Structure 1
């Protein structure tokens, strides 16, 4: 069915009107959306502002409580400070009283000091006079002492010269005596051993009258050492000869360092016959132990390389009476 021209125009105008309305509606919708977005954004901003306000209120409340605490603390500190000020005032008052007492005591001490200084000056004056007199007397004594000291030194020098002369004469006489009598000269090792055998060991005799005049008794063996078995020492003589030869080689043949023969003979003349175990022990000490100790002592001084005395060498004498 064909439309008339007017109808077509009306329809076209109506379509244009509808399109315009749709465009306006869309434009209005966009504006509303923008306003909605803007409103939401403002609402969010208002929420943030409200949150900030709440936080500010909380902080303000917190600061308020803190200020109240600080004020309370300041009030307490103020009270304590007032108490301290009162205490300081009381201390100051006591200090002032002590200061007045100290000034009074200082005045008394100054008076005592002045008196002590005056007394010390008097004593110093007396001491200086005494020292001057003492020095004068001491100088006079020194002059006299120096004069006497010179005389004493001269006498001492003369005495020393006489002593040196007498000592020289004694050494000369002793040397002449030793040259005349070999028995007074120190012995060599071989001479000392021979003289010890002749003058000491040969005096080992037993008193035939020992035990007479008292009841004879058997020896009590309780607590004494006794051999359970006796075995012959077959190589003793060879070992003894070897040790003896080593000792003799260690001593120079011309070395005279042992007691003179006359001294050994005098010791031998003191030996008495054996009467009991005690006298036997004395004989062993005088005739055996002492000579061996002399030899060992001199051996340590000549055997520097330890050819004979290797290590810590010692000789023990055990006597069980």
Structure 2
């Protein structure tokens, strides 16, 4: 029984194995069929792609062949065009050669004609020369005969000629002396007048031999005054002055004699003693520079009817002030007819916004008057008649000397030495003078100002519309050339322009031209934003610092 069960189990196992083997065979046959189908599909796809590639290559070859045929056709056309062009060029060259040959033939014929004409003229000229030589020979023969006749009287004639020449020289010398005397007794022209003023008066100004050794305490202490922040050159000032001077020369021509006699200028210069004091310098400049300049302003309206130089609204004059450091006086514009009108006022200056109480600072804020105000006084009565041109300040030679001017440079730190450089002795005098005139210009709302020692003139300018904290300056040394070399200019017109009177006149007329270009409210607004400052001599600064330290220690 057990044997029979084992056989059944074995039979079933064999049947099961056979069934699995048959399933495996079916699976392998199925996979082989699928692989064969996949291979057939890939083969068909590869054959299709190869057919498409062959068709594309054939199409491309056909296109390339057509392009090659087209290029060959174009090349053939180009070769034909080149051949035609070459033929035309050859025909043109041949035509040009023929034209040149014809022109050469014509030119040769004309040259031959001119040569024949010249030969004919030369023959005629030769005949004339022969005739002229014969005439000259006959004339020389006659002259020789006359010379023989006049040999006896030649010595007497030479003596007479010598006497005549001496008499003519004496007469010419007397004529020149008479002309010079008459010229000096008559009124003078503008150029001669300016030059003679410079020649006769400039020697009266005594230069300080050592301006750096003067007592610095003599300098004005600038306390709580308007102070510029920058100092730049006034470019264009001289060009404007020269343009005005050229127009003056066109108006006051050399034959227009309306100015003081030269002999009078010479006599005035001889009566003046050398100037060694500040008061004497002021009186000298008012009388002999500004006074002579007034003659131009008086004569200009009648000589310049069309106002080509400048439109004269009235009489240009100077309001003089005696120096009084104890009187507080400000410069304000009056509410007259003209927006540019200005007069002096004894009222205190309006306080600057943001500053301390004016009553507490009354002692510090005392403002001295300028030495003078250039104004144009209009006819009539009432306020607003004086149109302000500019303030003027006069300083002695040690404050604004030529040595200090040579050290003056444009800077963005006014009143301070450049970084790394020691302060120059005496420069605080010049800084103080510049700050003082700047303060006058700001208080009077003026665009221009003048600082002078007689020997040196500094013209100043404030640009209210751009930057009122910058003070622009232009230095003029009357009687010297523009390049700064010593010696007077040789040209009469240039010497007249470089004279002190010429510089005064041209600058005043330049300010007169622009005196109405003033927006008073705008300038007052700008001035209200400006800050005040101090500028003390070095010794004063040191003492002030010491006192401050002592007070701090005591506290």
Fold shared, TM-score > 0.5 on shorter chain? no
TM interval, shorter chain, is 0.3 to 0.5
TM-score (norm 2): 0.23
TM-score (norm 1): 0.38
- Higher Cα Rg, which structure: 1
Greater helix content: 1
